[in-house]
Amino acid sequence: MLKPIGKGNSQLARSDWLGGRKKPPLLRTRELAYGVLERLGFGSRASEATGLPGAMLSEVLLVSAPGKVILHGEHAVVHGKVALAVALNLRTFLRLQPHSSGRVGLNLPNIGVRRAWDVASLQLLDTSFLGHGDGAALTAEHMEKLKEVAGFPEDCVDPQCLAVLAFLYLYLSICRSQRALPSLDVTMWSELPTGAGLGSSAAYCVCLAAAFLTACEEIPNPLKDGEAAGRWTEENLELINKWAFQGEKVIHGNPSGVDNAVSTWGGALRYQQGKISSLKRLPILKILLSNTKVPRSTKVLVANVRSRLLKFPEIVAPLLTSIDAISLECERVLGEMAAAPTPEHYLVLEELIDMNQHHLNALGVGHASLDQLCQVTTAHGLHSKLTGAGGGGCGITLLRPDVEQPEVEATKQALSGCGFDCWETSIGAPGVSVHAAASLDASVQQGLDSL
Ligand code: MEV
């Protein structure tokens, strides 16, 4: 757990704000920290001069957030329609290590990023252009300024560059509430493939937002002594989600917000124009998740659908309305199934999958690899659709309970034969969480140590 300097008093304050106050007593704990620094002979603005943490960072923080699968409603959700999204049991993990080196570092072993900045130089920047997590749009000018800070050329749009920009944006925006920017290292490792439509960028932004907000004591660390994992309160999740959405905007331009919402809350969500509601009752659904490994850009695909809608409003608007109706019907059927699933319910789910896949093709977000995925699974009596932005990326295949395991294995083998990666997975994983170090799997520890 992160422990404040001057622990005794601030622990009292901590129980006080856990008892209902909206924000932790930043000033009191910070004053204590400066008091300690002064006694150590660093002077009253010691942390600004030395890069020593202005906040109360002293211990490692471990956070994780899940990826997502959109069952129905991708693209339509950007135009105000309903999307149904579920959290996947594939997660992104973050380790935040506070220190006093006067540097802030970012390590992303999955995509080969290793960067560090001098805290003192970042401290001197005019950061008035940054957001306040209030949902304000990020302008091209903001992006230019961020690129300048990161030392990237203006035309830089590759995933590495966007990941660094989102990191800097969230670090500078959230941590500037501190008297001095903290020195720290962030390492992130993910079980999620990047750019495949599984919400890897949202899980990335959710982890960063949760870690920075916790490290800066804007929200409390919910991990209790002796527990393996902790989850934040509803109010804290809302703040995490708000900031994660801002990070997503840095990466995707104009996302709907569904990806960061499902990564924050987990489970299964109905999402429409920022309105989020959890599907209270969810049947156990098994799906096969396939990654075609065809790279694509969510930003470009979303922009293409928008152009098609503007070019052919009479044709494309009804498609979006129909996708909306598919999402609502799916939600209704899932509710019924949670009480008493019947074979007919699965047949309805399959029909909805087929209709939506055709609509998505008509929107122009299909791809030959996704057609191949659908053909292969049809040959095994199964139904598939793309998930996420399309244009390649991932597809989902519903596994009815009556499908025998050898048939599932044969389907997986056929899909692997096409060059796709396949996972058999269930849906509805927990949202953003904080972990005790001892509770992390060896594979996760290894991943975080792999750069
Ligand atoms: C991407 O996972 C889903 C899209 O609908 C884009 C968005 O909602 O921001 C394609």
What DSSP string runs through 140-165?
HHHHHHHHHHHT--TT--SHHHHHHH
- What's the chain's average pLDDT? 85
Q: Given the CA of residue 254, which atom of ligand 1 is nearest to it?
A: 9
> What's the 87 CA to ligand 1 centre distance in angstroms?
14
Sequence-distant (≥ 6) Cβ neighbours of residue 59 within 8 angstroms: 1, 2, 3, 98
> What's the 302 CA to ligand 1 centre distance in angstroms?
7
Predicted confidence (pLDDT) per residue in 109-136, tens digit? 999 999 999 999 998 887 777 766 666 6
The predicted structure's pLDDT at residue 134: 66
The predicted structure's pLDDT at residue 150: 87
User: Which residue is closest in CA terms to ligand 1's atom 8?
Assistant: 256
Q: Given the CA of residue 388, which atom of ligand 1 is nearest to it?
A: 2
Residues at CB less than 6 angstroms from ligand 1: 70, 74-75, 77-78, 197, 255-256, 258-259, 298, 302, 388-389
> What's the 293 CA to ligand 1 centre distance in angstroms?
18
The predicted structure's pLDDT at residue 57: 59
Catalytic amino acids?
201, 259
Residue of 302, 306, 385, 396 best suited for mutating to test ligand 1, as the one with most atoms within 8 Å of CB: 302
Q: Are the beta carbons of 216 and 182 closer than 8 angstroms?
A: yes
Predicted confidence (pLDDT) per residue in 226-236, tens digit? 999 999 999 99
The predicted structure's pLDDT at residue 26: 33
Q: Given the CA of residue 257, which atom of ligand 1 is nearest to it?
A: 9
Residue of 69, 74, 254 best suited for mutating to test ligand 1, as the one with most atoms within 8 Å of CB: 74
The predicted structure's pLDDT at residue 36: 31
- SS3 state of residue 94: strand
% of the chain exceeding 90 in pLDDT: 69
The predicted structure's pLDDT at residue 21: 30
The alpha-carbon radius of gyration of the chain (Å, integer) is 23
**Exposed/middle/buried for residue 80 (C-beta within 10 Å: 0-12, 13-18, 19+):** exposed
- SS3 state of residue 360: helix
Which has the higher per-residue pLDDT, 24 or 211?
211
> What's the 76 CA to ligand 1 centre distance in angstroms?
8
Which has the higher per-residue pLDDT, 236 or 282?
236
Q: How far apart are CA 442 and CA 381, in angstroms?
A: 38
Predicted confidence (pLDDT) per residue in 49-98, tens digit? 334 444 445 789 999 999 999 999 999 999 999 999 999 989 999 999 99
User: Which residue is closest in CA terms to ligand 1's atom 2?
Assistant: 388
Q: Given the CA of residue 202, which atom of ligand 1 is nearest to it?
A: 2
